[in-house]
Structure 1
Amino acid sequence: MEYVIEMNHITKVFGNFKALDDVTLCVGKGEIHALLGENGAGKSTLMSILFGLYQAESGEIKINGKPAKINNPNDANNLSIGMVHQHFKLVHNFTVLESIVLGRETVKGGFLKMEEARKRIMDLSNHYRLKIDPDAYISDITVGMQQRVEILKMLYCNNDILIFDEPTAVLTPQEIEELMKIMKNLVDEGKSIIFISHKLNEIKAVANRCTVLRKGKFIGTIDVETATKEEMSEMMVGRKINFHLDKPELKTGEVTLEVKNLTVVSRSSHKNIVNDVSFQVRKGEIVCIAGIDGNGQSELVYGITGLIPIQSGKVTLNGKDITKESIRKKCMDGLAHIPEDRHKHGLVLDYNLQENIVLQTYFEPRFQNKGMIRFNAVREYARKLIDQYDIRSGQGEDSIVRDMSGGNQQKVIIARELDRNPDIVIAVQPTRGLDIGATEYIHKQLINQRDKGKAVLLVSLELDEVMEVSDRILVIYEGEIVADLDPKTVSVQELGLYMSGSKRSIQHEKEA
C-alpha cells in the first residue's frame, strides 16, 4: 500500500505524563483510516503533532514518503493537511464567511475582496450539502452548524489529507449520514481521511482500516470489514463491553420538575424559539427530549436552568416556583445541569481540576472558613471524585482543565453535578465525545439516579441513546412538543418522522 502519512515511533511527554509512547500510524492513499481509543488515549495529541500544534520528543513523520518537519499549522497546511478539531477553532464575533476565509483572505489595494470567496464557499456548501448562512455570526449558530463551518474551512483550503477529530459528536443522525456520504465522496475525489471517533457503528460504516490506541500505546491496526464491534471495543478499553443496558422496572413517584407554558424568544430573530411548552418529570423516571438540533431544545434547557431569560411560563421544582431564582439558588434547591457546551457553560478552562470540581459548592462550610477556602478539603474531595469517576489527567487535581481531553473534561462536570445529590439532573448530550466505555459508565450513572428515585431530564441527538436510556420520549419540533412516546412501543423510523415534523401525535395535534 502507498502511504500518504507515516508517523513512526512517536513519543510525546507532558511533564511527567507520557501521552504517547512509541506510537506508529500509517495511512494509505485514498483510504478512510479510523483512529480509535478511550478518552485520554492520545488520539487528539497524535493528530495535534501531525497538524503542528505539538512537537514530538522522538519519532519521524513522512508525508508522501518524504520526511517532514511540521513546526506549526502553517507547515501542515503547506503539506496539504487540514484538521477539523474536536473543540472548534472559530472566532465568535466573526461571521461564517469571515471565519472560513480567515488566514486565506483575498486582498486588493489594502481592501478585503469577499465576493469571490463567498461564491466559492456557497458552491462548496451546495456541492457537499453543508447548508450554511454566510452572514450569520458564529456566536448565534448551533454547535452542529459550527461543525459545518469547520468542515467548509478545511475544504476551502484545498487540503488533500483531512483529519476529522470527533466530527459527529454534535451532529444529528441525518447530518451524520450526510457526513458519511461526504467523506466517501472526498475519498473518491482522491483525498485521504483520518477519522477519529468513539462510535463503532460509524467506523464500521465508512472506514477501511482502524488503528487502536490505549493509554498512549499502539495496540494494533485492523481491517474494519473483518473485525467485529466486540473485538474493536475490547482492543480499545481492554475489557468486554456490555452493549445492552439493564434497567430495573420503572417505578415513578411524585412530580419533581414541572414546566408550564414556557416561552423563550430568540435574541436574533425575535420569534418564539420555545413556544408554550409544558411537561412534567417524575421521581424515578428518565424523560428524554429528542429532536433535530436547532429546534429549541437548547433554549428550553437554558430557560429552565436560568442561563437565558424566559418570556413567559413557570418552572417548579418539588412544588416550589424556581422560575426567577438565581442559578446558584436553583442548584441549592436540587437542580443539576450537565450542559451541551462544556467549555462555554460547564467549566472555567484556565482553572485547575479541583477548582472546577467545587465551582458550585466552594461557599459551603466544608470548603471554606470565614471566607477563606480550605484547600486541603478541596484537594481531598477532588481526589475522591477523580478516583470514583476515573478522571484522567497529567497532574491529577492540579491539572489545568484546558489541557485535558474532551472526554475527561466531561467527566469533571458529571462528577461535580451528580455528587451534589440533586433531585433533578438535566443532562444535555452527556456522552458527547465520550468513548464507549465512558458512555456505558455515564448511562449507568443516569440510570442509577433514576433508581435512587431521582428525576432525570435527558436531551440527546443520539437515537441509540434516546431509545436505550429513556423511559419516556418527548419530541420537540420548531420549539413545540409534538409527541409523548414510549420507547418500548415506538420504532426509530416513527421517531424520525416526529423529529422531522412529518408527524404529530393526536393529543398534541388537538392542542396545536
Structure 2
Amino acid sequence: MTQPPLLALEGITKHFGDLVANEDVSLEVASGEVLAMLGENGAGKSTLMKVAYGLLRPDSGSVSMGGQPLDIDSPRDAMAAGIGMVTQEFSLVDTMTVAENVALSAVGWGRVDARATEARVLATMERVGVHLDPHRLVSTLAIGERQRVEIVKALFHDCRVLILDEPTAVLPPQDIRALLQTVERLREGGLGVLFVSHKLKEVAEISDRVVVLRRGHVVAERRTSQVGPDELARLMMGVADGGAGEPATAEGEPHPAPGALAHAAPEDGEPVLTISDLVVTRAGRDVVDHLDLTVRRGEIVGVAGISGNGQTELVQAVSGMTPVRAGTILVDGVDVTDRSVADRLGAGLGRLTEDRRGSCVAQLTVEQNLVLEDLSSYTRRGALDRTAIRDHARAMIEQFEIKAEPTTPIGQLSGGNIQKVLLARALFRRPRILLAAQPTRGLDIGTFGYVHTRLSELRASGAGVLLVSEDLDELRALADRIVVVFRGAIVGELSVAEATSERLGVLMTGRDAA
C-alpha cells in the first residue's frame, strides 16, 4: 500500500471578490522532502500557505496530514496538527528572552516549569544547529537570529511540516547560508518543508521538487534535478521556450550584466541631495557617523553594506522618520534637516522604503493609499473628490501594471503589487531625488525587472536616485557609482568597473577603510 503524503492540499480554491487567488490547487509534500513553490507576486503562493496554516479559510478544497482530513480554522489548529509557518514578518516580543518567546507560543500550556522549558528549548535548538543563548533578549538579536528563533518556535510544537514563506527575502547575504543549512538539517530529520521563494539559485540548491504557480493555478511540477533556472524562469513568467523575455543568469537570478543599466552621469550635474556631516544616534551609539554624500541630477548612487551598518537609519533620517543629532540634509538646495516629512516631499523628495507594508495602511484601499501623501490635491471645498481619486487610481493601475482594483484593500495584495502601488505614489509626484531602499527584496522576476526599468527611466528624466541595497548584483547593474557603508560611515567609493565582489567584500567587512 502506498504511504499517504505527510501533507496534502487538494482542490484548494480561494477568491477575494472577483480576484482569483487559488483555483483548484493541489500539492503534496512527503516526510524528509523540501518542496519549493515558485511564482510571480500575485500568483497565489502566500494565499495557499495561509490556507494551510489556518490564516485563511478556502472557498473549497481540503487539507490532510498523513491521509487524515484536517479542519483548520486558525494557526492554533494548524500547530496542533503539526504544521508550522515562518513568515517575513516575525512575531517576537522584543522585551522577552529567546526561551520566553518560544514558551509563550506553546499550545495548551498552563503552568510553566522554567527549567524544563529551557531544557526543551535548548534541545530543539540543538536539533537544527541553532546556537543562541536562551536568556538573551530578542531586542539584541540580528534579523537572521530572529528568524532562527521563529523556526525553533515552530519545532517546539512538534512541527512535522514547516512552511517558510520567502525566508531569504529579509536576510542579509551572510545569513542565507546558515538558513539553507538549517533547512537541510530539517530534511535530514524527516520534516516536510514548503519553501516559498523567488530565488532560483536557492531553490535549485535546497529543494527536491518544484511547483510553479501562475495566476492562481499550478502550471508545472518538476524534480529539481531535472530543470534549470532558465526553464523555471520561463514557467514563472509564462514565456514559451525561445520566446521574448529576460532569461535567468547563470546564478539563477534575473540580473543584467554589471553596468548594463548604468550610464555616464554628468560630473557637473546639480546636486539634488546633499548630506553633510550627518550623525544619527540610537541607544547612545552613533549609528550614522559623520556621513557625507552627494547625489546629482541624472545619476543613481548605490549604497552597499552588510545589514545593520547604518543604512536603515540613513534612509530614515533623510526621509524625516528619525531625528538627526548633527549635520545637514539638503533636498534640491533646500535645507530640510529639521523639516517635516510633508515639507521634504514638497521639496522634491520621493520615498521607497524597505518596510513595504509599513509604508501603506493595510485596511485602506489601493486608491486611498495612492493619495495618502497628497490628499490636499484631491480636496474640494473641504471634502475629498472621490471621483478624481478613483480616476487617478485607475490611471496608476494601468500605467504601473498593478493587479488590483481601486477598491481592493491593499493588505490583500502581494508584495510585488504593493511595491508597484508605492512606486506609483512616489513617481507620480515627479521627485527630484528618490530614496529607494531594498526596492526589489522578495520580488519575483517580472516585478524585479519592472522596478529596475522605472528607476532607470527616472534617472534618464534628470532625477537622482539613492539606491540602498544588499543585492550587490543589483547595485552593479543600476548604479553609476557605489559607496560602501561600514559602522555608519562611508569607507569607500567605487566605480561599477571597480566594484568586484572581492573589493566590495573587503570594504563591507571593514578590512580596508582606505
Normalising by the residue count of structure 1, what TM-score does the alignment of the two structures yield?
A: 0.91
SS at match of 1:362: helix
Which residue identity lines up with residue 372 of structure 1 in the other structure?
Answer: A
Take 1:83 and 1:340, find their aligned partners in 2: how far apart are those partners? 23
**Partner residue, 1:153:** 153
CA distance 1:407–1:87, shift in 2 (3 Å) = farther
Which residue identity lines up with residue 4 of structure 1 in the other structure?
Answer: L
Bigger shift: residues 377-386 or 56-65: 56-65
SS at match of 1:33: strand
Question: Retained in 2: the 8 A contact 1:132–1:149?
Answer: no
CA distance 1:265–1:408, shift in 2 (3 Å) = same
**Partner residue, 1:100:** 102
Take 1:125 and 1:301, find their aligned partners in 2: how far apart are those partners? 35
**Partner residue, 1:510:** none
Question: Retained in 2: the 8 A contact 1:125–1:132?
Answer: no
**Partner residue, 2:375:** 362
Take 2:131 and 2:373, find their aligned partners in 1: how far apart are those partners? 39
CA distance 1:370–1:134, shift in 2 (3 Å) = farther
Identify which of 248, 252, 261 aligns with 2:277.
261
Question: Retained in 1: the 8 A contact 2:304–2:470?
Answer: yes
**Partner residue, 2:348:** 334
Question: Retained in 1: the 8 A contact 2:93–2:138?
Answer: no
| Pair 1:7 & 2:9 matched | yes
Take 1:155 and 1:479, find their aligned partners in 2: how far apart are those partners? 37
SS at match of 1:329: helix
Bigger shift: residues 316-325 or 247-256: 247-256
SS at match of 1:461: coil
Identify which of 370, 383, 390 aligns with 2:401.
390
Question: Retained in 2: the 8 A contact 1:130–1:148?
Answer: no
Question: Following TM superposition, by how much is the alpha carbon of 1:392 offset from its aligned partner in structure 2, in angstroms?
Answer: 1.7
Mapping of 1:58-97 within 5 angstroms?
Answer: 58-91=60-93, 96-97=98-99
Question: Retained in 2: the 8 A contact 1:290–1:474?
Answer: yes
**Partner residue, 1:128:** 129
Question: Following TM superposition, by how much is the alpha carbon of 1:453 offset from its aligned partner in structure 2, in angstroms?
Answer: 1.6
Take 1:71 and 1:209, find their aligned partners in 2: how far apart are those partners? 28
SS at match of 2:294: strand
Cα RMSD, aligned residues only: 2.3
| Pair 1:380 & 2:391 matched | yes
**Partner residue, 1:179:** 179
Question: Retained in 2: the 8 A contact 1:51–1:73?
Answer: yes
Take 1:500 and 1:263, find their aligned partners in 2: how far apart are those partners? 21
**Partner residue, 2:38:** 36
CA distance 1:248–1:135, shift in 2 (3 Å) = closer
Question: Following TM superposition, by how much is the alpha carbon of 1:426 offset from its aligned partner in structure 2, in angstroms?
Answer: 0.5
Take 1:107 and 1:67, find their aligned partners in 2: how far apart are those partners? 25
Question: Following TM superposition, by how much is the alpha carbon of 1:133 offset from its aligned partner in structure 2, in angstroms?
Answer: 7.9
Question: Retained in 1: the 8 A contact 2:138–2:146?
Answer: no
Question: Retained in 1: the 8 A contact 2:262–2:479?
Answer: no
Question: Retained in 2: the 8 A contact 1:107–1:113?
Answer: no
CA distance 1:363–1:57, shift in 2 (3 Å) = same
Question: Following TM superposition, by how much is the alpha carbon of 1:54 offset from its aligned partner in structure 2, in angstroms?
Answer: 1.7
**Partner residue, 1:198:** 198
SS at match of 2:406: helix
Which residue identity lines up with residue 279 of structure 2 in the other structure?
Answer: T
| Pair 1:309 & 2:323 matched | yes
Task: Note the residue ranges of structure 2 that are not aligned, 5 or more in a row.
Answer: 240-244, 248-253
SS at match of 1:457: strand
Identify which of 348, 353, 362 aligns with 2:366.
353
Take 1:478 and 1:106, find their aligned partners in 2: how far apart are those partners? 44
Mapping of 1:92-491 within 5 angstroms?
Answer: 96-104=98-106, 113-118=113-118, 120-121=120-121, 128-129=129-130, 131=132, 135-136=136-137, 144-239=144-239, 240-242=245-247, 243-245=254-256, 246-247=260-261, 249-252=263-266, 253-267=269-283, 270-344=284-358, 346-364=359-377, 367-393=378-404, 396-491=405-500
Question: Retained in 1: the 8 A contact 2:276–2:293?
Answer: yes
- Identity among equivalent pairs (%): 36
Question: Following TM superposition, by how much is the alpha carbon of 1:360 offset from its aligned partner in structure 2, in angstroms?
Answer: 0.9
CA distance 1:20–1:160, shift in 2 (3 Å) = same
SS at match of 2:226: coil
Question: Retained in 1: the 8 A contact 2:84–2:163?
Answer: yes
CA deviations 1:349-385 (Å, max 9, x no partner) are 2211111100111112xx1112211110011101111
How many pairs does the alignment contain? 495
Take 2:80 and 2:108, find their aligned partners in 1: how far apart are those partners? 18
